[in-house]
């Protein structure tokens, strides 16, 4: 038996029938300023049907900025901390165990208004979002506050 948090097994990341087992924090990591994303399953692994990622927001993180997806559901499950979601202008506070589904075309953002870190599980359907991550990482790096 392997200790929790030490496993990373991808039998074949280009084969959607392969089993994926990842330990805590494992996956493809993308630093985004005061946020960090770790993608667990996406792209060829899921035939772009969905992507699953974890997002960490440092205390006071302003999040990604308001945006919308034209053809994708964006679902969030709060694993720890308390996140603030802005959904078509409505402000919603979501603590551990809360679920937020954002349907296509709904303007949304999320942030951390607390002094504690926030950890979110994100499910994006259909997938493909991860293809944008290198450009998103570059944008955050270019706009980092000094």
The stretches of the chain forming alpha helices (DSSP H) are 43-46, 133-142
User: What tokens does 73 get?
Assistant: 């559901």
Q: Are 74 and 122 a contacting pair, CB within 8 Å? A: yes
The per-residue pLDDT for 124 is 96
The per-residue pLDDT for 146 is 45
Buried b (16+ CB within 10 A) or exposed e, 4-32: eeeeeebeeeeeeeeebebeeebbeebeb
Q: Are 126 and 46 a contacting pair, CB within 8 Å? A: no
User: Which of 2.60.120.10, 1.10.357.10, 2.60.40.1840, 3.30.1330.10 is the CATH number of 27-142?
Assistant: 2.60.120.10
What pTM did the predictor assign?
Answer: 0.86
The stretches of 10-114 forming alpha helices (DSSP H) are 43-46
Q: Are 20 and 10 a contacting pair, CB within 8 Å? A: yes
The per-residue pLDDT for 12 is 59
Q: pLDDT 10s digit of each residue in the chain, 146 long?
A: 445 454 555 555 566 667 888 999 899 999 999 999 999 999 888 889 999 999 999 999 999 989 999 999 999 999 999 999 999 999 999 999 999 999 999 999 999 999 999 999 999 999 988 888 999 999 999 987 64
Domain ranges of the chain: 27-142
């Amino acid at each position: 038996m392997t200790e929790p948090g030490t496993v990373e097994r991808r039998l074949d990341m280009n084969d959607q029938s392969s089993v994926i087992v990842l330990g805590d924090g494992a996956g493809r990591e993308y630093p985004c300023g005061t946020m960090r994303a770790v993608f667990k399953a996406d792209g060829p692994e899921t035939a772009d049907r969905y992507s699953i990622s974890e997002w960490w927001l440092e205390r006071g993180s302003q999040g990604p900025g308001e945006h919308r997806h034209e053809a994708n559901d964006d679902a969030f499950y709060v694993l720890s901390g308390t996140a603030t979601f802005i959904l078509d202008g409505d402000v919603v506070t979501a603590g551990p165990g809360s679920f937020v589904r954002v349907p296509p075309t709904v303007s949304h953002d999320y942030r951390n208004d607390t002094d504690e870190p926030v950890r979110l599980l994100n499910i994006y359907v259909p997938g493909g979002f991860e293809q944008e991550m290198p450009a998103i990482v570059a944008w955050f790096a270019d706009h980092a506050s000094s």
